[in-house]
Amino acid sequence: MPELVDLDAVREAAERIRGLVVRTPLLPCPWADDLWLKPESLQPIGAFKLRGATNALHQLDAAQRTAGVITHSSGNHAQAVAYAGRALGVPVTVVMPDVSAQIKIDATRGYGAEVILVPQAEREATAEALREERGLTMIPPYDHPHIIAGQGTVGLEILEDLDSVDVVVVPVGGGGLASGVAAAVKGLAPSVAVIGVEPVDAADAAESLAAGEVRHWPVERPLRTIADGLRTALSELTLAHLSKHLDGILAVTDDEMLDTVRMLARQARLVVEPSGAAATAAVLHHRSELPAGRVVSVISGGNIDPVLFREVLAS
């Protein structure tokens, strides 16, 4: 059993990242019953990932900072590490698949990172080789206590901002965000229920929790969901957190997420990606399956493809 991130670690992370990430507000929803939103889509890179990356880079020693860090990601984590590296003066190398959207490559380079494009299958090996060769530190997207503690600051802020919360709903991909939020919430207020949400086509976390071991679904299945941020499997570390802390886990369909993207644009004036809408989709479409009372849903990110966003708004 790996050592778990606790409330103290999350509190220390909160001190480290203060002023380097946005202290997102908690938004009441007059259009829904007793629902509040925690919009991490408002982070400068458009996702909560900045919290964990900043907390991890902040804890490097002087030699590690000078040498720099490396990660492999095609998504929000790459931009998070690049942005945090620029803020903290740490050189960043990102290995991205050569099929990555140009807009993501440009954004990552825009934060000053060195981007190395390789075929999808060579991503990990290339990153590992570069790490060794250049003496870099690897910053994983979720499978690390510093990352989990950083993401947990979302949970800390929720309970700081709202006195009486009954349920916190959070999306589950690799499980870093859910692990950190659950650790913070349960550490502060054990009676608050923490519920995970994943796509029906990437519901491997529910299966892993039931089995008590990390289950990997055949790669074709998670590729079916539009929620590209939630396709990843848990790690031993995140499974251990979720096994201990989670009160339940629900699955939502792509249609439910897309409907929620539209609702959040119209009613909450937020641009949200499908993965980012998963938790709110569970509230809007599966309220009866949640514990009763006041709900906070975490909106994990807002990096939606502009064409998809237009289509969703038109439907």
Q: What is the DSSP letter of 18?
A: B
302 binds a second copy (CB under 8 A): yes
Q: Please, what is the minimum distance in Å from the beta carbon of residue 46 to a second copy?
A: 6
1 binds a second copy (CB under 8 A): no
* Residue with smaller CB distance to a second copy, 209 or 270: 270
Q: Please, what is the minimum distance in Å from the beta carbon of residue 224 to a second copy?
A: 25
Task: Write the CB contacts of 168 (distance below 8 Å, at least 6 apart in sequence).
Answer: 155, 158, 181, 185, 192, 193, 194, 195, 295, 296, 297, 298
CA-closest candidate to residue 81, choices 147, 171, 5, 179 = 147
Q: Please, what is the minimum distance in Å from the beta carbon of residue 25 to a second copy?
A: 5
Task: Find the catalytic residue in 41, 73, 74, 275.
Answer: 74
Q: Please, what is the minimum distance in Å from the beta carbon of residue 115 to a second copy?
A: 16
200 binds a second copy (CB under 8 A): no
Task: Find the catalytic residue in 49, 73, 186, 300.
Answer: 49
Residue 229 CB coordination number (10 Å): 25
Q: Are strands 35-39 and 27-28 parallel, antiparallel or unpaired?
A: antiparallel
Q: Please, what is the minimum distance in Å from the beta carbon of residue 110 to a second copy?
A: 7
* Residue with smaller CB distance to a second copy, 73 or 79: 79
Annotate each residue in 59-98 with x if it binds a second copy (CB under 8 A) or - if it does not, as one string: ------------------------x---------------
SS3 244: helix
* Residue with smaller CB distance to a second copy, 89 or 306: 306
- Report the residue from 69, 111, 136, 275 that binds a second copy according to the rule CB under 8 A: 111
Q: How many CA atoms lie within 13 A of 309 on its CB side?
A: 15
- Report the residue from 202, 270, 277, 283 that binds a second copy according to the rule CB under 8 A: 270
Catalytic residue status for 74 = yes
Catalytic residue status for 38 = no
Contact 231, 202 (CB under 8 A): yes
153 binds a second copy (CB under 8 A): no
- 247, exposed or middle or buried, with CB in 10 Å at 0-12, 13-18, 19+? middle
Q: Please, what is the minimum distance in Å from the beta carbon of residue 111 to a second copy?
A: 7
* Alpha-carbon distances, residue 306 vs 144, 210, 258, 279 (angstroms): 32, 37, 14, 21
Site for a second copy in 7-66 (CB under 8 A): 22-31, 39, 41-42, 44-46
* Residue with smaller CB distance to a second copy, 39 or 222: 39
Region near a second copy per CB under 8 A, out of 125-133, 215-223, 270-278, 284-292: 270-278
Task: Write the CB contacts of 248 (distance below 8 Å, at least 6 apart in sequence).
Answer: 193, 195, 196, 289, 290, 291
Q: What is the DSSP letter of 126?
A: H
218 binds a second copy (CB under 8 A): no
Q: What strand order describes the sheet that includes 295-299? A: 27-28, 35-39, 295-299, 167-171, 193-199, 248-252
Which of the residues are catalytic? 49, 74
Binding site residues, a second copy, CB under 8 A: 22-31, 39, 41-42, 44-46, 83, 110-111, 265-266, 268-272, 302-303, 306, 309-310, 313-314
